[in-house]
């Protein structure tokens, strides 16, 4: 499984990338606004300089023709840019057209197996089921991931599954157990994945014992 960071915060991206575990980044208009970027394309360009992997940048239009034009502009920023296209009828049209042009896409805001199936047929390179938002309304987000994994395996689709809207570390573990390709996580969740009370306890004990016995390297 690959780990992506779901943010547009440059400092968080730079720090996570320094850990050696980051394979890509996903962004959207909400995350870009939250990070306070004044120029979206400059932000994407900066992220591409930090992380050598897929960087998802989302279009802002809802008409296929406009999505395609925006996608062409975004794809010119860097070879690693993946175009996020929302799941809708116009989005499917755009995904199909962009696939023919060789521009990679990430079909986002997926909440059903039907949507994921259509995205794969249209030619999406990635599909992003939003597990946390489904959990928020009383549905089982990971059940959706399991359905998508099985469908894609049944028919040999090459579309990669990005588990998105991750709320906590267990979402990542569950996604990995199901065989999802990628989990894109907020920085706070990534930090929780690193931590464990027993690890902290063990480090403190080792350091205290080393200090008491005056060990040196």
Residue from 41, 63, 73, 84 carrying the catalytic annotation: 84
Q: Is 84 a catalytic residue?
A: yes
**Is the distance from CB of 28 to CB of 108 less than 8 angstroms?**
yes
**Is the distance from CB of 105 to CB of 99 less than 8 angstroms?**
yes
- CB-based contacts of 61: which residues, under 8 Å, 6+ apart? 67, 69, 70
Give the HSE-up count for residue 110: Cα atoms under 13 Å, Cβ half-sphere: 30
Query: Among all residues, which ones are annotated catalytic?
Result: 84
């Amino acid at each position: 499984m690959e780990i992506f960071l779901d943010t547009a915060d440059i400092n968080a991206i730079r720090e996570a990338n320094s850990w050696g575990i980051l394979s890509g980044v996903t962004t959207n208009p909400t995350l870009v606004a939250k990070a306070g970027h004044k120029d979206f394309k400059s932000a994407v360009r900066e992220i591409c300089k930090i992380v050598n992997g897929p960087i998802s940048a989302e279009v802002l239009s809802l008409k296929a023709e406009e999505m395609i034009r925006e996608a062409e502009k975004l794809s010119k920023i860097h070879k690693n840019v993946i175009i996020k296209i929302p799941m809708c009828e116009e989005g499917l049209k755009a995904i199909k057209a962009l696939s023919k042009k060789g521009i990679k896409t990430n079909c986002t805001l997926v909440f059903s197996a039907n949507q994921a199936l259509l995205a794969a047929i249209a030619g999406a390179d990635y599909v992003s089921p939003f597990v946390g938002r489904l959990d928020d309304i009383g549905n089982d987000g990971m059940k959706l991931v399991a359905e998508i994994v099985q469908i894609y395996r049944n028919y040999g689709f090459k579309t990669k599954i990005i588990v998105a809207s991750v709320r906590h570390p267990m979402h990542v573990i569950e996604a990995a157990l199901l065989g999802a390709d990628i989990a894109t996580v907020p920085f706070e969740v990534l930090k929780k994945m690193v931590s464990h009370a027993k690890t902290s306890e063990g480090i403190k004990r080792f350091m205290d014992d080393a200090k008491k016995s005056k060990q040196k390297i």
